[in-house]
Amino acid sequence: MKLNTDFSKHADAFFSQSTWVPSPIKEVSRKMLERDGGEIATATTLVNYEPNSYFSSHVHTGGEEFLVLEGVFADEHGDYPVGTYMRNPVGSSHAPVVKKSCMILVKLGQYQKDDHTPVHIDTQAHTFIMDPIRAGVTFLKLHTFKNEIVRLEEWPKNHTIELDNQGGIEILVLEGEFSHDNTSYQKFDWLRLPIGHSLHAVMNNKHCKVWIKTGHHLHQIQPK
């Protein structure tokens, strides 16, 4: 399966307009954002776990990165409430078990070479700090490796956020909404901009909170 695999093109997905697709585990469903491969794939996905669902133990051959969006995700290592950001390096493994229900954003197979650092951040327990460059923007750093930067950002209402794009930009809306290029992005909508296409995010009378990754397309294979 190939979905949004051309990183030279703009891509987006709207949560309210997409449908959940069953996975091999009947209690687990997905909304695919980008994917290259079958069940073993390089992928970015929204994954929904129903109550008392599980996923069999598996090894992260290409690494796993996820953010808990709703509910409580869990595995044999612990429970991860809303706002938990995790990075499980290449070669790690786990067996998810969800007692109630949850939804996560997960990225598979997108680790850079030599990025071996596991990450576990309860973002609800941290304070956002002011961005020294963009007025009104606050952020929480989640991960940095070479050109890749992952953050949570809060954008104030009635503001315009400009961001140059020298290595790719990827955004998932967590709260509120913004408009870019005359298109509105609301809660759990996803946007990916190719290198060279700057972000011009316009807020209305509500603030916006996003998960944002930049610089990562420099290490991903570009299509011919």
CATH number at residue 60: 2.60.120.10
Helix, strand, or coil (residue 29): strand
pLDDT mean over 26-47 = 91
Whether 108 and 28 share a structural domain: yes
Whether 136 and 167 share a structural domain: yes
Count: domains in the chain: 2
Residue 117 inside a domain? The answer is: no
Whether 84 and 146 share a structural domain: no
Take residue 224 and report the two structure tokens written for it: 């011919």
Predicted confidence (pLDDT) at residue 9 exceeds the cutoff of 70: yes
- 39 vs 140, more confident: 140
Helix, strand, or coil (residue 174): strand
150-167 residue pLDDT tens: 999 999 999 999 999 999
Whether 98 and 150 share a structural domain: no
Contact assessment for residue 98 and residue 74, using Cβ atoms and an 8 Å cutoff: yes
67-125 residue pLDDT tens: 999 999 998 888 999 999 999 999 888 888 898 899 999 999 999 999 999 999 999 99
pLDDT interval class at 221 (50, 70, 90) = low
Among 56, 80, 112, where does a domain finish? 112
Whether 24 and 73 share a structural domain: yes
Residue 10 inside a domain? The answer is: no
Whether 61 and 24 share a structural domain: yes
pLDDT interval class at 220 (50, 70, 90) = confident
Whether 104 and 141 share a structural domain: no
Query: What span, in angstroms and rounded, lies between the C-alpha atoms of 50 and 28?
Result: 6
**Is 12 exposed, middle or buried (CB count within 10 Å of its CB: 0-12, 13-18, 19+)?**
middle
Q: What is the mean pLDDT of the chain?
A: 93
Whether 190 and 105 share a structural domain: no
Among 112, 143, 161, where does a domain finish? 112
Share of the chain above pLDDT 90, in %: 79
Query: What pLDDT score does 93 carry?
Result: 86
pLDDT mean over 119-145 = 96
Whether 101 and 158 share a structural domain: no
Take residue 203 and report the two structure tokens written for it: 């807020």
Helices (H), the chain: none
Whether 97 and 135 share a structural domain: no
Predicted confidence (pLDDT) at residue 41 exceeds the cutoff of 90: no
Residue 142 lies in domain: 129-221
Whether 138 and 209 share a structural domain: yes
Whether 165 and 211 share a structural domain: yes
Among 112, 142, 170, where does a domain finish? 112
Residue 28 inside a domain? The answer is: yes
Residue 195 inside a domain? The answer is: yes
Take residue 144 and report the two structure tokens written for it: 């940095």
Contact assessment for residue 199 and residue 149, using Cβ atoms and an 8 Å cutoff: no
